[in-house]
């Protein structure tokens, strides 16, 4: 069976669990050498690498919290050095900016610390990591930013998260213009509610779960593999003519007719 990403290199930020883990596994299963970072759980990262290895793929975990400009620079240098050691070249074909997150909260209770932390994770880190890795990104490569369906929803209880993901989507569109001459498609993927530990409370509360599933056209929480499949489609040769797009993969959450 032909592996469509054979010979390619990929980086997935936040790849030790949840959506990122599924992305690492799918890209590696399709033949790419996949690097990913994790913050502190070496056992989780090692389990991802072992699982990929067991299926005949290649993945490399790098312990690197992405918190500030210095940590972003150090991580970019580690990625470059790791690629050179593993492949003899520092070229990167696929960059998936998956790291992100936020907390619930409306305007009255949002603190400057929550605001700054949310924008740091969802906007500053992907922006400056992408900037740092542009010299290594090969012409014809891919950049995929993991946004959220929240970027189109004006929810009072997750205002800062929505704002930050909307900013990430605008970064996607401008970066697509920047990298178009190099033949590099850039897109956002916007998940809805997925069955990951980040949504454990929503999944385990029967009332909330019923509300979410009832407000999703396909009637269920997404699975990490659902999002990984969209990421792979954009990273694959068949995804080369799609760029500058904000692609929602939420199963039709809070669908607006």
Percentage of the chain beyond pLDDT 70 is 99
What radius of gyration, in Å, describes the C-alpha atoms of the chain?
A: 18
Whether 38 is catalytic is: no
Model confidence pLDDT, tens digit, residues 25-77: 999 999 999 999 999 889 999 999 999 999 999 999 999 999 999 999 999 99
Fold of 9-249: Rossmann fold (3.40.50)
Q: Give the model confidence (pLDDT) of 175-230 as tens digits.
A: 999 999 999 999 999 999 998 888 888 888 999 999 999 999 999 999 999 999 99
The residue from 38, 104, 115, 161 that is catalytic is 161
């Amino acid at each position: 069976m032909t592996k469509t990403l054979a010979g390619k290199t990929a980086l997935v930020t936040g790849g030790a669990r949840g959506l990122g883990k599924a992305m690492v596994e799918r890209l590696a299963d399709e033949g790419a050498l996949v690097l990913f970072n994790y913050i502190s759980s070496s056992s989780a990262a090692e389990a991802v690498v072992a699982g990929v290895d067991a299926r005949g793929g290649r993945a490399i975990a790098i312990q690197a919290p992405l918190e500030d400009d210095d940590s972003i620079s150090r991580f970019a240098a580690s990625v470059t050095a790791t690629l050179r050691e593993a492949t003899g070249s520092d070229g990167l074909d696929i960059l998936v900016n998956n790291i992100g997150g936020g907390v619930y909260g409306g305007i009255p209770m949002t603190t400057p610390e929550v605001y700054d932390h949310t924008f740091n994770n969802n906007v500053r880190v992907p922006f400056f990591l992408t900037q740092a890795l542009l010299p290594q990104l090969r012409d014809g490569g891919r950049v995929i930013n993991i946004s959220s369906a929240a970027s189109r929803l004006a929810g009072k209880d997750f205002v800062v998260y929505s704002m930050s993901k909307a900013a990430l989507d605008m970064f996607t569109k401008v970066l697509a213009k920047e990298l178009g001459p190099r033949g590099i498609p850039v897109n956002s993927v916007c998940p809805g509610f997925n069955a990951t530990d980040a949504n454990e409370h929503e999944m385990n509360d029967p009332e909330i779960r019923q509300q979410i599933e009832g407000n999703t056209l396909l009637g269920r929480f997404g699975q990490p593999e659902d999002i990984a499949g969209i990421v792979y489609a954009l990273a694959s040769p068949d995804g080369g003519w799609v760029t500058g797009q904000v692609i929602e993969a939420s199963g039709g959450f809070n669908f607006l007719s």
